[in-house]
Each structure stands twice: as C-alpha cells, then as structure tokens.
Structure 1
Amino acid sequence: MVWTSAWLHGAAAADDVLDALQTWAELHEVIAADHGTATAMDLPGPGDAATGPALLLAALRRAGASTGELVLPVPGDVRGLGGRGPLSEAALGVGEAATLPGIGVGLVPEPVAEGVLRWTVYDLVPPTGSEYVPIGEAEHGLADAMRDATAALVSLDVARHRPNVRSEIEALVTGQPATPWPAGMPPRALRVLQRAAEVAAIVAVAASDAPGAAVSASATRARADALRPLSTAVRRARCAAIAEAVRVLSDHADQH
C-alpha cells in the first residue's frame, strides 16, 4: 500500500512499484473476484486468464484511487473490510488485505504456487475505512507489549523448555526479507515496523511448542490468552505505521 500510494501521488515510478513486488514473489497475477468488479475495473474476472500488476496499477489510476490502507483481520475483527462478505472471508484466510476505500475496492494477496502471488480484487461495500490509530498511540502500545512479551516468556517458562529462545527470536527477525521502501519513508514508521517485527517474533516463539514437549490443553489456553494482547498490539502497530507512511509520502508528494 505504501508503494501504490506513493505512485498514485507521483512520489514513485510504476517500475519502482513493480520492482518492489519482487520482494514477496517472483510472479504476481491479478484477477477480479466477480464479473461485476471485473467490468467496473476493466480486469479479467472468474474464468479468465489473470493479468499482471501493471494493468492493476492502470486500473486503479482510471478509477481515481488516491490512497490505500493495510488491514490485518482476525476472527471477530474485520473492521475496514465492509463487514461479512467475500472480501472479509478471503482476507481472513490469508490474514491481510489492502483496501482503497475511495474507490470501493479491496485487494487480497494469496500464494497460489511457489513464487506466485495472486492479487484478487473485491468490491468493498460499504467503502468505509478501518479504525484510525495514531502512530504515537500504536508506538506506546507496542512498547507496553514489548514489556508484556518479556513477562509472558517468564510466566510461561519458555526459557526453561527452550534454552536457545533468544537465538530463535533473533533468527526470526533477521530472517525476514529486507523490505524496500520508497525514498522519504518516515523514520518513525520504520522504527515501529521494526519493533513490531521483534514483538511478533517473541509471540511466534512463545506460541510454539518446543520439540518433544508435552503441553496440556489448559497450558495451551493460558498461553494463548497471555499472547493475544501482544498479537493485537503488533497488528495495530503495523497498520498505524503503514498509515503514517502513506500520509507522509502522499503529503510530501502533493506539496511538490
């Protein structure tokens, strides 16, 4: 969403957007979820051969798109996706979506083969935005989550069962592919995204069982309850950081 918004406001070239997509998959294909959306966006629909992301960018430009939002839904919280429907169902399946409320469109990326990511374009009804979280609030919540995550590791006695837990967490953080960002990406947004990745790694390690460990059902539930607020803080922080980046890059481009 950051790259697309930067391109829509003239802060990035289309080729830069297409190059950035290679971080997530070698091949990207685009298709509309239904015939109505296909007609409205002039994109291939069900039963048609998929097209490439360059034609999606052109379709967004024709539709008058100006900015977008990142949505990271979980069961019970699909705000920003227009309520129950095909878009929210698909987004829940992969855990993410990009929405463009101004034109009533939602995009869901899904791996369909090794090295192939398919973007399905859905109608967003009603075209309302998601909950706005100021980046300062999200950053504060993430700092609290970091302290809570450390306490959770102690209370769940993760270190005793996994003596190399710090190495596991570090490996998860450093093992992520380096994400390219447009020039002018706000440092605060980058900082929040980095901290979110660190908390997410802690949650992932704490939520998984050590090899050969026998964990009771009650212990599994207690662990899930302890980690759930941390996962929520990560989701809020990531969405807030992307929203801040979109705002800063768009405002900066519009001033030139």
Structure 2
Amino acid sequence: MFPAAAATLAARRSSRFAAWVRAWRAGLVPYDEVAEEIAGDEEHLVADAPGTWTDVPLGDALPALSKLSPDDIRLALPAPGDPRGLPARASGANASQPSPFTGAALVAGEAVVARGLGFIPEVRTHTSGSGVTFETVLWRVYPLPDAPLPLGDLTAAEAEADLSAALAEATAALTRLDVAQWRPELAGALAALRRPDAGIDLPPGFDPRARRLFARASVLDRVLALAEHAAPGGAVNGYEAQQRDAALRPLTTACRRALVAACNSPLRPE
C-alpha cells in the first residue's frame, strides 16, 4: 500500500488544468465541466486574467482561452537547469534576464503555457476563526508572446519507456542502499507503482497509453514529493542521504517528462 502521507499530497494542479482545457478546446468536454474538474474539492481563483480587475473564480477566467486550439495549450514542469516547455521570455522582457513568468514557473515547478498567456498556481493556506486550516489555489496569469508553442515533448511511448527504465534503476539503487531499513514507506511505494491508481485519469480524448502513463507518473510524482520533503531517519548520514538523492534524481526527471508527455499528447474523438 502507499503511505498515507503520499496519498494526501496533491497531484500537479497544472497537469489537470492543461489536460481538461485541452479537451475542452478539442470539443470533447463541455465548458461547464472544466473548472469543476480542474478544482475538484478545492477553491480555485484566478488573478490578473484578461479583462478582469480582481481575483475571479476559475470558470470566469477560462473564456480567455476560448479561441485557442488544443496544441496552443501545453503543460510545463520545469526544474532548475531544465526549463524545457517554457517560452524564451515573456513579452517586453529583457532577453538577457529570466522573465517573471519563467522565474515563477521554476519556483513553482509547474505551469500551463497557453498561446499569449501563462498560468501558475499558488497555494495559499488559511486558518478560520475556529482554528480549521484550509487551502485555496490562486492561478496567476502572465502575458506571454503570442506565438506558436514549440512541440518538442517526448511521445507517450518514449516517455513510458524512459520512466520504466528509470524506475527499475532507482529501485535497484535504493535496494543496494538498503533504503527499506530507514524509509520502508518509500521502498514499498516504489514497488507498488506497478499497479497504477485507477482513480487518477485524464479527460476524454486521450488514448490508453497516455492514460496509463499519466496514472503511473502522477502517483510516482507524489511519492517523490514525499521523499523530497520528509527528512531521512537518524541512522542515515549525509553521504547516504546524498546517495539516495542521486538515485532518485533521474527518476524525478523521467517522471516530470512522463507527465508532460501524457498531458500534451494528441487528442482524438472517443
């Protein structure tokens, strides 16, 4: 079984945003369902949407994308040293400086790049008067160049092969490091990934390979988030922690690229 903490970590919000908006623009899902499917049980607002003066509900901002085609909307999961999927610069930005959008996307580790606009989620934590803590998601909109987006993603088949190879290598490396003694939940979660979570799915229009890849990579992404944010046990020294991080790094990269490949894959009527 997956560790409870891993199961509660949110999947990448930008992946759901990109997938559902692309399906809407392909005519495969109705507009009325898109905002609800993206938000789930969270409250999602949008800041700086075109034609607005204040934060608005997600559904009120989606018409800004109503003239785009599915290929005009792409998921990007950048990381330091790997900004693939991001435009070179935002409109008006100095070519020698990272654009505000690029900088924010690298900090967040995720973004949706639409032709002319970029969306980045910010999670805000609130505490009610009774002490209950809850979160809202604010999508901040950035102006981007109105130009066709580069289509340099891996195919779903390529990303699936890379993810399987990286998972096998990471599992072998973690076994050699005897990770099960100090992080049994991580070792168990990696083994359980051979059974994708059927509850994590893409909207209509994505083929079975993309669905399978998205389900597997989404669960893996949350497991890796657990590994990154939870400190290792006291029996682990600095060298061992570095070895663990080195074992997981290629897997983290393969996972990000798998999510991008799945969400940006071609759509077809069902």
* TM-score (norm. length: structure 2): 0.74
Residue by residue, what CA displacement relative to the aligned partner does 1:2-43 show, whole Å, maximum 9, x if unpaired? 1111112221111211220232x52111112xxxxx5xx323
**Aligned pair partner of 1:118 in 119, 127, 138:** 138
- Cα distance in 1 between the residues matched to 2:100 and 2:198: 30
Q: Structure 2 stretches of 5 or more lacking a match?
A: 1-17, 89-97, 126-133
Which residue number corresponds to residue 164 of structure 2?
Answer: 143
Residue by residue, what CA displacement relative to the aligned partner does 1:124-159 show, whole Å, maximum 9, x if unpaired? 247443632111111110110121121121122201
Would the aligned equivalents of 2:118 and 2:143 in 1 still touch at CA under 8 Å?
A: yes
Which residue number corresponds to residue 69 of structure 1?
Answer: 74
- Cα distance in 1 between the residues matched to 2:253 and 2:33: 32
Which residue number corresponds to residue 63 of structure 2?
Answer: 58
Question: Residue 115 of structure 1: SS of its match in structure 2?
Answer: strand
Which residue number corresponds to residue 47 of structure 2?
Answer: 31
Q: Structure 1 stretches of 5 or more lacking a match?
A: 33-37
**Which runs of structure 2 are paired with 1:215-230 in the superposition (5 Å)?**
215-216=237-238, 218-230=239-251
Which residue number corresponds to residue 263 of structure 2?
Answer: 242
Which residue number corresponds to residue 152 of structure 1?
Answer: 173
- Cα distance in 1 between the residues matched to 2:64 and 2:156: 30
Which is further off, 6-15 or 204-213? 204-213
Would the aligned equivalents of 2:154 and 2:257 in 1 still touch at CA under 8 Å?
A: yes
Which residue number corresponds to residue 104 of structure 2?
Answer: 90
CA-based RMSD of the aligned residues comes to: 2.9
**Which runs of structure 2 are paired with 1:175-190 in the superposition (5 Å)?**
178-179=199-200, 181-190=202-211
Q: 1:152 to 1:124 in 2, by over 3 A?
A: farther
Q: Does 1:43 align with 2:52?
A: yes
**Aligned pair partner of 1:79 in 70, 73, 84:** 84
Residue by residue, what CA displacement relative to the aligned partner does 1:163-214 show, whole Å, maximum 9, x if unpaired? 454445579999x894453234321111112332454456456655443334
Question: Residue 12 of structure 1: SS of its match in structure 2?
Answer: coil
Would the aligned equivalents of 2:182 and 2:233 in 1 still touch at CA under 8 Å?
A: no
Would the aligned equivalents of 2:46 and 2:140 in 1 still touch at CA under 8 Å?
A: yes
Work out the number of aligned pairs and report it. 231
Residue identity over aligned pairs, in percent, reads 35
Q: 1:181 to 1:136 in 2, by over 3 A?
A: closer
Tell me which stretches of 4 or more aligned residues in structure 1 moved more than 6 Å.
170-174
Would the aligned equivalents of 1:72 and 1:239 in 2 still touch at CA under 8 Å?
A: yes
Which residue number corresponds to residue 25 of structure 2?
Answer: 8
- Matched to 2:64, the amino acid is A
Would the aligned equivalents of 2:157 and 2:209 in 1 still touch at CA under 8 Å?
A: no
- Cα distance in 1 between the residues matched to 2:38 and 2:224: 27
Q: 1:93 to 1:205 in 2, by over 3 A?
A: closer
- Cα distance in 2 between the residues matched to 1:164 and 1:119: 33
Q: 1:74 to 1:186 in 2, by over 3 A?
A: same
- Cα distance in 2 between the residues matched to 1:166 and 1:157: 9
Question: Residue 204 of structure 2: SS of its match in structure 1?
Answer: coil
Question: Residue 83 of structure 2: SS of its match in structure 1?
Answer: coil
Q: 1:149 to 1:228 in 2, by over 3 A?
A: same
